[in-house]
Amino acid sequence: MRPSLRDKIIETCDRKIAQKGPNVGLSFYAFFANRNDDPALLMEAARWWIETHQLDHFEKAVKIRAMVEAGQ
């Protein structure tokens, strides 16, 4: 995963956790604007989420942040 995507995921998870608490769930779409302005980055996130880790559509933000920070 490229560093810019890793940073974006951690930043988004931190923001969502601060706003809604540690039980907040999110999907990989949470890391992108409603407009698909970077399809390659979106596909990289989707591959990591769906193919690599076979995660459910919604996962706890704390889990995703921990996985990314651990380099998974």
Q: What is the pLDDT along the chain (72 residues), one digit of tens a residue?
A: 899 999 999 999 999 999 999 999 999 999 988 777 888 999 999 999 999 999 999 999 999 999 999 998
pTM of the model: 0.89
Where is 63: in which H helix or E strand? helix 61-69
- Residue 36: is it exposed, middle or buried by C-beta count within 10 angstroms (0-12/13-18/19+)? exposed
Number of domains the chain contains: 1
Q: Which bin fits 37, alpha (ψ -120 to 50), beta or left (φ > 0)? A: alpha
Domain containing 12 equals 3-69
Q: Give the closest residue to 64 by CA, choosing from 31, 40, 37, 38.
A: 31
